[in-house]
Amino acid sequence: MLQDGNSSVEAALKYFHYKPNATQLAVAVYAVGLYEKQERQLWQLPAGTGKSRVIAAAALAWAKVNKNGLVHIVVPNELLCQRDTATFSDLWRLGDIEGRVKYRKDLPMEAAPSDLVILDEADHLIFNHTDLVKKVAAKHRVIAFTATISKSNFETAEVGVVKMLGFLIL
């Protein structure tokens, strides 16, 4: 699936200043490849490992192989949303997907079924807006990223909520 868009993804990243490193790119490509089998994923990446770059690479990879949908990247923090919009705008232009990636603070209730929803700071969204996340996840494929939920204790209430929403915790 990803092989079709692979060379154009590499070409776009070649000239982009904020390109992901090999590990970040591998996580992004794996998440996009896995979404065919697992429609709801929650990725836990340690703080400071470049979550924004992983998200951008995943958006680029998905948009290159799925020509009809938009990517909605939900960033609940206004400053981070503005930062990432500005930081990655050149990547969307270089990748020839300008206009197909939308950064936003709110959950995309109006998104089309063919769209991909990526949640940044997913812990905040899931635990503060559980009903809205549940509605979006019921209609869309969702790849979520967080740095704070713990996979080590599967008996916590937070993990129970994530599992109830149908997310695979990675």
Q: Find the CATH number of the domain harbouring 153.
A: 3.40.50.300
The pTM of the full predicted model, rounded to 2 decimals, is 0.83
Largest CA distance in the chain: 45
Residue with tokens 């994923």: 41
Range of the domain at 102: 3-169
Structural domain total, the chain: 1
Give 69-122 pLDDT, tens digit per residue: 999 999 999 999 999 999 999 889 888 899 999 999 999 888 888 899 999 999
Written as six digits, the tokens of 93 are 């232009």
Q: Higher confidence at residue 64 or residue 19?
A: 64
pLDDT over 80 at 5, yes or no: no
Element (H, E) at 160: helix 157-164
d(CA 67, CA 65): 6
How confident is the model at residue 54, as a pLDDT? Answer: 93
